[in-house]
Amino acid sequence: WSFWLKLNLYFNNILLKVIGVIKVSDHIVKTYDEELDRISNSIVQLGGFIEDQLARAIHSLVHRDSDLADSVVDDDKKADELEEDINNQVIRILALRQPMAVDLRLITAALKISSDLERIGDHAANVAKRAHALNQFEPVKPISAVSRMAQIVQKMIKDVLDAFLERDSERAMEVWRRDEEVDEMYNSLLRELVTYMMEDPRNITPCTNLLFVAKNIERVGDHATNMAETINFLVHGTNITENRPKGETDAI
């Protein structure tokens, strides 16, 4: 009986150790999943902040609200802080978890998307600065065309963020194809602004500011397209082989 008792205790100890390892493993996996979820949530948070920042910048332009424009410029630091937090999360996971496959694609995508979002925030701040400057002059007619272009770009950002949240590559590709429309609107606006400046030299300064606004909005569309490409890679693990659709470039 002594032998069987010892044998029973021996196997019970092994069983307890195995159970302990399983519990620790489950805990590690759960913690790891939470860290990955936190990165995704941080991207969504940054994206929402940038959406609001751009919307306020456009509002300050259309409604000639200098105070709102100033607040957009001031808020640009917050976007930088949110991006830095995402970078720190990514570095920590890379150092401690050594992710592979889709997990590695996720954190790589997080780095790229957060960088594009931060740059969109910079463009929004630039729009706000130009809006403030434009308020020193009489309103110029082409501002309505800038507003229409901005609406398309804002929709692109919303759709690409939804595509990231849902891991929807088809929706991301729809955004990718829409960039051509933004380019064509920018080229059309460029021609219109040059016409206004040629007709009356007093329009040169306000139209130049508006031209910089339009260029910043066009660049926002480029960053939304970048994010669409990143989401496609996140979902499928392959790069887009098609050439990026671009509107014709006018030489003026």
pLDDT at residue 13 in the model: 56
Furthest-apart CA pair in the chain: how many Å? 109
| DSSP per-residue letters across 119-173 | HHHHHHHHHHHHHHHHTTS---TTHHHHHHHHHHHHHHHHHHHHHHHHT-HHHHH
* CA nearest neighbour of 232 among 171, 180, 153, 161: 171
The model's confidence at residue 120, banded by pLDDT at 50, 70 and 90, is very high
Can you spell out the DSSP letters for 7-57? HHHHHHHHHHHHHHHHHHHHHHHHHHHHHHHHHHHHHHHHHHHHHHHHHHH
Mean pLDDT within 205-226: 95
- pLDDT at residue 18 above 70? no
Contact 140, 206 (CB under 8 A): yes
Which pair of tokens denotes residue 124? 């929004």
Secondary structure (3-state) at 72: helix
Cα–Cα distances in angstroms (integers) from residue 193 to residues 2, 133, 181, 197, 198, in the given order: 98, 17, 18, 6, 9
The DSSP 8-state label assigned to residue 64 in this structure reads T
Q: Work out the pLDDT band at 26, boundaries 50, 70, 90.
A: very low
Rg of the chain over Cα atoms, rounded to whole angstroms, equals 25
Q: Which amino acid, 95?
A: A
Range ranked top by mean pLDDT from 30-34, 92-96, 145-149, 226-230: 226-230
